[in-house]
Amino acid sequence: MKHEGPKAQALTEEDICQRVRDSVLEQRLAPGTKLTEESLCGVFGVGRTTVRRAFLLLSRDNIVELQRNKGAVIASPSPDEARQVFEARRTVEAALLARATENASEADIAQLRAHLAKEKDALSTADIARWIRLTGEFHLHLAKIAGNDPLFQFLEQLVFRSSLIITLYGRHGRAAHSCKGDEHTRIVDALETGDSTTANKVMAEHLSEIESTLNFDRSAAGGDLHQIFGMAHAS
Amino acid sequence: MKHEGPKAQALTEEDICQRVRDSVLEQRLAPGTKLTEESLCGVFGVGRTTVRRAFLLLSRDNIVELQRNKGAVIASPSPDEARQVFEARRTVEAALLARATENASEADIAQLRAHLAKEKDALSTADIARWIRLTGEFHLHLAKIAGNDPLFQFLEQLVFRSSLIITLYGRHGRAAHSCKGDEHTRIVDALETGDSTTANKVMAEHLSEIESTLNFDRSAAGGDLHQIFGMAHAS
DNA sequence: AGATATTAAATTGTTGACAATTTATGTGAA
DNA sequence: TTCACATAAATTGTCAACAATTTAATATCT
């Protein structure tokens, strides 16, 4: 039995971007990780041209940082960038939530409930990677309902950057703790009753709580082994 | 005397993106315009690789549409996209304006006043292309003051798309007419006195007015000669 | 040893030739 | 003429070889 199908359709740059984004969302790719062209070529079975295009697109979304003659590295948002990203999220998600409250159909609510169940399941089975991704996707699901593509795509970028930020500055265990309040469920509840005010309030608190769990004291540059191990820099 | 300097530093893909964006902002590049690789190579004196990268970046910003094996075309936003873009602008600019009201220094206000003078000058000298660009840049200037880079970059995208939309659906002469109210000046006035409420109100009216001048009745796909000349489509 | 300079390896950047596809052109029959 | 089909031109997509740069390794000197 072969590992690949008979045709093995070649992956496009968008496919690779999606894979990288998913990995970032599940925190399997940490900020500072070096991505060499050759390795990704091998992993995805594509030419250097495709990988290169993927890097360019990812750099436009601030997911990877592209340094001249030095290649691609998973971005390491600074504390100030982190603050701005969450500020932007509060702004955009408030607007999206208002729209979603107007537009949400019964089917939408049902889908959101199903999503909440998945989150709960992932948490109970201790599948943290899956839970982390689902948590991010919940916000994107809400954004989709709002029906504004530019805002949706923008929030998508912000969610991915948030993932990088949490990986960098998040206190371990705090993420799960912040789930205690079950804010996602409360947001859907408010959405169902058309209570836009409450939904916005909960969302604002939710985002602020996530941001408040961040700890900027330690190393600014993630993935720097020297700092991680408390060693001085070589050269 | 040579036309180029002795070194003639090679342009980068960002340079080319900027040129294209500027052309869009001044409405010198209409939606539907085909951009061949060869022609841009000739114009900017760069290799095909660079042009290709520029296309990819521009497509990510919805400024050009990239079709497989068919090349790059200046995007033609649909009426529905237009609505969403302006909706997004109202959302984002409201938030940016609120931040700008808090952050604006005297120097910022002075710069904005200088910008207003430029707008007035361009209008009085009938330099419409320049006026159109300045009008767009005014909003970006405001966004810069707000001090949130993600929101700024997002608005940048929206402004460029707005330019395409106005080129496509704008009634001629209406743009200048909408300047009668001199809303930009009123926004700066409100900003100077810290009157966030008034600033937001004027901005919201301003954007809605621009949107209301659009006419979606005629050709949806810009650059489509069939529709322009009132002919039926061939195949 | 420790630091510095030199050489080798690895990685990225660029170019040009060739393949694949689309678009334009031309030819002939109904 | 007009449609269909075949051919040619033009344009885009892909790949591999080469150049430029960075990183690692080695050698050399104090």
pLDDT at position B173 is 62
A92 to B91: CB separation less than 8 angstroms, yes or no: yes
pLDDT at position A172 is 72
Exposed, middle or buried by CB within 10 Å (0-12, 13-18, 19+), for A198? middle
A57 to B56: CB separation less than 8 angstroms, yes or no: yes
Choose the mutation target among B59, B68, B92 for the interface with A, i.e. most A CBs under 10 Å.
B92
A88 to B150: CB separation less than 8 angstroms, yes or no: yes
Q: CATH classification of B13-76, choosing from 3.40.630.30, 1.10.10.10, 3.40.1130.10, 3.50.50.60?
A: 1.10.10.10
Work out if B37's Cβ lies within 7 angstroms of strand D. yes
Positions of CATH 1.20.120.530 in chain B: 79-212
CA-nearest residue to B99 within chain A is: A87
pLDDT at position A131 is 87
Q: Tell me: the pLDDT tens digits for A115-138?
A: 999 999 998 898 888 988 999 999
B91 to A88: CB separation less than 8 angstroms, yes or no: no
Query: How far in angstroms lies nucleotide D8's C1' from the CA of residue B36?
Result: 20
Backbone angles phi, psi at B165, to 5 degrees: -65, -45
B88 to A57: CB separation less than 8 angstroms, yes or no: no
Work out if A172's Cβ lies within 7 angstroms of strand D. no
Positions of CATH 1.10.10.10 in chain A: 13-76
Give the number of beta-carbon pairs within 8 Å between A and B: 53
Query: How far in angstroms lies nucleotide D7's C1' from the CA of residue B70?
Result: 21
Q: Which residues touch strand C (CB under 7 A)?
A: A 35-38, 48, 52, 66, 68-72; B 47-50, 69-70
- Residue labelled with tokens 């079950």: A182
A150 to B84: CB separation less than 8 angstroms, yes or no: yes
Count CB atoms within 10 A of the CB of residue A20: 24
Low-confidence ranges of chain A (pLDDT < 70): 1-8, 173-180, 218-235
- DSSP label at A170? B
Which chain D positions have some atom within 7 A of a protein CB?
Answer: 11-16, 20-23
Nearest to B191 by CA among B103, B95, B119, B90: B103
Listing from the earlier edge strand, what are the strands of the sheet with A71-74? A34-35, A71-74, A64-67
pLDDT at position A174 is 59
Q: Are A195 and A187 in contact (CB under 8 A)?
A: no
pLDDT by 10s per residue, chain B, length 235: 444 444 467 899 999 999 999 999 999 999 999 999 999 999 999 999 999 999 999 999 999 999 999 999 999 999 999 999 999 999 999 999 999 999 999 999 999 999 999 999 998 898 888 988 999 999 999 999 999 999 999 999 999 999 999 999 988 765 556 566 789 999 999 999 999 999 999 999 999 999 998 988 865 444 443 344 444 433 3
Exposed, middle or buried by CB within 10 Å (0-12, 13-18, 19+), for B111? middle
Angle (nearest 5°) at CA B59 between A71 and A17: 45
Work out if B192's Cβ lies within 7 angstroms of strand D. no
Nearest to B41 by CA among B53, B50, B28: B50
Closest partner residue to A56 among B56, B88, B151, by Cβ? B56
Work out if B68's Cβ lies within 7 angstroms of strand D. yes
Give nearest nucleotide to A234 (CA–C1'): C3
CA-nearest residue to A94 within chain B is: B91
Work out if B42's Cβ lies within 7 angstroms of strand D. no
pLDDT at position B9 is 75
- For residue A56, which residues of chain B lie inside 8 Å, CB to CB? 53, 56-57
User: Looking at the C1' of nucleotide D23, which residue has the nearest alpha carbon?
Assistant: A70
B79-212: which CATH topology?
Answer: Four Helix Bundle (Hemerythrin (Met), subunit A) (1.20.120)
Q: Are B203 and B93 in contact (CB under 8 A)?
A: yes
Question: CA B107, CA A193: separation in Å to the nearest integer?
Answer: 47
| Residues from A in contact with B at Cβ < 8 Å | 53, 56-57, 60-61, 81, 84-85, 87-88, 91-92, 95, 147-151, 154, 157-158, 161
Q: Tell me: the pLDDT tens digits for A91-105?
A: 999 999 999 999 999
